[in-house]
Structure 1
Amino acid sequence: MKGRMLFIFNPRSGKGQIRNKLMDIIDVFVKGGYEVVVHPTQGAKDAEKIAKSMAEEVDLIVCSGGDGTLDEVVTGLMEIGANVPLGYIPAGSTNDFASSLEIPRDMVKAAQDIVDGHLFSVDVGSFNEDNFIYVAAFGMFTDVSYETSQDLKNILGHLAYVMEGAKRIFDIKTYHLCVEANGEVHEGDYIYGMITNSHSIGGFRNLVGNDVEMDDGLFEVTLIKKPKNPLELNEIIAALINAYDDTNMIDAFKANSLYIHGDEAISWTLDGEFGGEHKEVRIKNRKQALDILINS
């Protein structure tokens, strides 16, 4: 017997596909030597609550859902300082974290990889009093995920994010911010910013560069300035698509901590979910703070 497992799953994520796979997944875990406690989430923050309440009673926690479900579980574990390992079975329309760790989209295969896998320690971000696993962002498109209904996410997948953002492409708000990192100050009028620990964002690779390591204690920081004309807009798009930073329109660098402040409170998204409005934020990288089972 390997031990006791808490299996948390979001029954609505990814068109509810886990309902057809649930028995097969549990069978994999039982055959792998686990006593399995199953908990379907009952609403917002439920995954966080159950992870916190049972972390000391189990040897492993596995969660299945989108990035939001994963974020809830990780937040719960970080808040209580639990060191229980985590397994992840992706089920959402966009799973940046799973993609970065090469976790299979096939749910039964992902379950088997958890049984057969090894521990890999990934960085976790702290954001004021909150936590995030792979991205904290503000500005253009960052409210797309939580303004797009769950059903729309299920039906359209990646296109749901793009479509909602494209509706407002010509209504761009700017934020005058000071970003302090690495002993330097970056000040400007930005339309978008993201602090990431992932190989892909919104399902799109290359947006954060090609030299990403998820256990190096460093974030990839991308700050996009407001384009003044179509030429500058095309310059930004080309830089993002081709993953190069040879443009004055984007401030891109690595950092293990940041202090970001401005004249107004701005909305943030943490792992694709609404992260509140903040006038100033302090972000720190908690190097290798989470042990996750992978088989890659």
Structure 2
Amino acid sequence: MEKKLLMIVNPVAGTKRLRPLLLDVISIFSAGGFATTVMVTGRRGDAAEFAARGGDFDRIVCCGGDGTLNETISGMLDAGVTIPLGYIPCGSTNDFASSMGIPADIKKAAHAIANSMPLPLDVGKFDDSYFTYVASFGAFTAASYNAPQDVKNVFGHAAYVFEGIKDLGSIKPYYVKLVADGRELSGEYVFGAIANSTSFGGVVKLKDELVSLNDGMFEVLLIKMPKMIGDLSVIINSLTSSRFDNDRFEFFKASELVVTPAEPTAWSLDGEYKRTEGAVRIRNLHGAINFIK
């Protein structure tokens, strides 16, 4: 019996490279035994709405950038849709796809979705919102939502690095209190990330051996406020080498955190802007999504 697949497409994601390959992708799914229904997003929120109505399908496939994937997963979780989810990355940097080892080649990604079995994937809960791979604040965070789309299309990852470097000239500390699995800490930080990924913010990368995407734990990275000019060099070198074993960083794992900045704070959830006031509760929803790669 032919299975049903819902394909959610963001037509303006990244360089729009899916468009000329759309029929090829549908043919790949058809060869895998799937009858494909395509739904195209036209505004923010469409992907979540389409995903919430996807319970009658056998598989959902998200085609877009990290923001489209975030919407799709949010819609599924809010509606209690538990069917397997696949992702064809079509955005500018696709941090999440890189962490998951999802092929950058669209046809290869489609073949994997049609022929692979799902695996459990952790998802982050940020108060009433969700994130797939990172919630971050401070330096570099604005790079994820401020880099112009046309610049991201041309330069990809480098666009985020350029935007992040601009942040360093106006670096600002955030006084933050955290409770992480009962452990309390506080201080002035220029960047903080609660992540389930080896790459986030377009700038920060973690070594593969440090990260598991389905262990029920976040990787938490905090960068302390530089006290001297030399500290800035240490921070940049550490980010470049992905080594955080010095006193400018806090790096640890946690499954649940309460983060309380001293002032209203701009966060990035999977590259999307969110402003908060007061404490936020961040939880790891262990194995919340059945993910195909």
State whether TM-score is above 0.5. yes
User: Tell me, which stretches of 5 or more residues in structure 1 are unaligned?
Assistant: none
Post-superposition, which runs of at least 4 consecutive aligned residues in structure 1 deviate over 6 A? none
The answer on 1:198 being equivalent to 2:193 is no
User: Tell me, which stretches of 5 or more residues in structure 2 are unaligned?
Assistant: none
Partners of 1:210 and 1:243 within 8 A in 2: no
What letter matches 1:129 in structure 2? Answer: D
Partners of 1:267 and 1:278 within 8 A in 2: no
What letter matches 1:177 in structure 2? Answer: V
The answer on 1:24 being equivalent to 2:24 is yes
What letter matches 1:4 in structure 2? Answer: K
Question: CA distance change for structure 1 residues 61 and 51 in 2, over 3 Å: closer, same or farther?
Answer: same
* Whole-angstrom CA distance in 1 between matches of 2:13 and 2:87: 13
For 1:43-100, what per-residue CA distance to the aligned partner results, in whole angstroms no more than 9, with x for missing partners? Answer: 1111111111x22221111011110110000011111221111010001111111111
* Whole-angstrom CA distance in 1 between matches of 2:146 and 2:189: 21
5 Å-filtered alignment, 1:1-296, equals 1-52=1-52, 54-203=53-202, 206-207=205-206, 210-294=209-293
1:244 positional shift: 2.7
1:213 positional shift: 0.5
1:165 positional shift: 2.2
1:204 positional shift: 5.4
What letter matches 1:14 in structure 2? Answer: G
For 1:138-165, what per-residue CA distance to the aligned partner results, in whole angstroms no more than 9, with x for missing partners? Answer: 0112122222232222122112212222
* Whole-angstrom CA distance in 2 between matches of 1:28 and 1:202: 32
What letter matches 1:73 in structure 2? Answer: T
* Whole-angstrom CA distance in 2 between matches of 1:12 and 1:102: 23
1:278 positional shift: 3.2
Partners of 1:94 and 1:202 within 8 A in 2: no
Taking structure 1 as the reference length, the TM-score comes to 0.95
* Whole-angstrom CA distance in 2 between matches of 1:228 and 1:216: 35
Q: Percent identity?
A: 43
* Whole-angstrom CA distance in 1 between matches of 2:173 and 2:260: 14
What letter matches 1:27 in structure 2? Answer: S
For 1:114-134, what per-residue CA distance to the aligned partner results, in whole angstroms no more than 9, with x for missing partners? Answer: 011111111000000100010
* Whole-angstrom CA distance in 2 between matches of 1:209 and 1:63: 25
What letter matches 2:146 in structure 1? Answer: E
Partners of 2:264 and 2:275 within 8 A in 1: no
For 1:220-270, what per-residue CA distance to the aligned partner results, in whole angstroms no more than 9, with x for missing partners? Answer: 000101112221112222223333332111111100000011321101110
Q: Matched residue of 2:118: which SS?
A: strand
* Whole-angstrom CA distance in 2 between matches of 1:208 and 1:171: 28
* Whole-angstrom CA distance in 2 between matches of 1:209 and 1:4: 34
Root mean square deviation of aligned Cα: 1.5
1:137 positional shift: 0.2
